[in-house]
Amino acid sequence: MTQLIAIGAGIAVLTGIGAGIGIGLATSKAVDAIARQPEAEPKIKINLVLGCALAEATAIYGFVIALLIILLLK
């Protein structure tokens, strides 16, 4: 039973991979956009920060679920 709990927690933490890939892609596209139109930097930066925060929230949710699996299903 403990092995299944560990496997479930490990799978829940894997959401961080998706968030990392998403944030990396968003950052690269924002840098490209700023390089093409430097005058639009404030708008791009605001949207980038909001998008990164939403992507990071999914990783945090996965981490919380993993902790709940470990702590509550002992």
**CA 28/CA 44 separation, integer angstroms:** 12
Segment 37-69, tens digit of pLDDT: 999 999 999 999 999 999 889 889 989 998 998
- Which pTM does this prediction carry? 0.76
The chain-wide mean pLDDT, for the chain, equals 91
Do residues 46 and 40 lie in contact, with contact meaning Cβ atoms separated by under 8 Å?
A: no
**CA 29/CA 44 separation, integer angstroms:** 10
The domain ranges of the chain are 2-72
**CA 8/CA 2 separation, integer angstroms:** 10
Output the CATH code of domain 2-72: 1.20.20.10
